[in-house]
Amino acid sequence: MPLIELKNIQKVFRNDDVETPAVRDISFTIEKGEIVAIMGPSGSGKSTLLHILGFLDVPSGGEYYFRNKLITDYSPTEQARVRNKEMGFVFQSFNLLPRTSILENVKLPLLYSDVKESRWNELARQAITTVGLTHRIQHVPSQLSGGEKQRVAIARALVNAPAVIFADEPTGNLDSASGKMVMETLQNLNEKFGHTIVVITHETYTAEHAGRIIRIHDGRVVGDQRVEKRLRASEQFRK
């Protein structure tokens, strides 16, 4: 049973009498434990597709199944629970609270969970350790590099042990060395812990860390291929 299944998904934005199609007739599945890059140029519809996948927007047509359940069969309360518990999000702009410690930033999703407060510090520390930032745990974001900020965002996405992590242009604001470290962090989560990862990107070097690349152009899937010789995570993250 796929974790994610899309059947003929469409998204049309309407402004007065003008209709702008952003996603056109997209169908694919994502299995548990895959790391998938959805790749395309700016304006191709990939971020719109991510918003649909993450229950942040609804399609105009087609069917989206998450854990074999149609998205329209989830109540608004259930959708909110799935977003918080089953999905982790990493965005290009980090979205960290600037005057709050790394530990407190990572704990944020737990505020809306059913996890007992007595476990919040433990779970946040585990997530921070997983991304290799224990030495930064009491720092604030302004004291971190861009790559470190994105790894904090990954730890925050991890803290609820989600079924899937969605990363929207996670290396877009980073230099190549920092971007490589962020992608190795995500890849390590997939290879070592089995996390399902979906990365939205327009950068080839980012997509090369995935095991599969889905290419989007003008709102349509134009390619879906396995990566036979993908880049491997460095030993630093594989231990």
Q: Is 118 helix (H, G, I), strand (E, B) or coil?
A: helix
Query: Cα–Cα distance between 224 and 136 in angstroms, integer?
Result: 39
| Residues contacting 173, CB < 8 A, separation 6+ | 92, 93, 94, 146, 150
Query: Cα–Cα distance between 62 and 120 in angstroms, integer?
Result: 39
pLDDT digits over 96-111, tens only?
999 999 999 999 999 9
Q: Which residues pair with 199 in a beta bridge?
A: 37, 167
Q: Per residue of the chain (239 residues), what is the pLDDT tens digit? A: 899 999 999 999 998 889 999 999 999 999 999 999 999 998 899 999 999 999 999 999 999 999 999 999 999 999 999 999 999 999 988 999 999 999 999 999 999 888 999 999 999 999 999 999 999 999 999 999 999 999 999 999 999 999 999 999 999 888 888 988 999 999 989 988 899 999 999 888 888 889 999 999 999 999 999 887 655 555 444 43
Reference 229, options 197, 203, 201, 207; nearest CA is: 207
- In this prediction, residue 15 carries a pLDDT of 87
- In this prediction, residue 112 carries a pLDDT of 85
Q: Which helix (H) or strand (E) holds 214?
A: strand 212-217
Query: Cα–Cα distance between 141 and 97 in angstroms, integer?
Result: 8
pLDDT digits over 184-231, tens only?
999 989 988 899 999 999 888 888 889 999 999 999 999 999 887 655
pTM over 0.85: yes
- In this prediction, residue 236 carries a pLDDT of 41
Alpha helices in 86-119 (DSSP H): 102-107
Alpha helices in the chain (DSSP H): 46-53, 76-85, 102-107, 120-130, 146-158, 176-193, 204-207, 235-238
| Contact call for residues 103 and 124 (beta carbons, < 8 A) | yes
Reference 194, options 158, 146, 224, 221; nearest CA is: 158
- In this prediction, residue 233 carries a pLDDT of 55
Query: Cα–Cα distance between 65 and 194 in angstroms, integer?
Result: 21
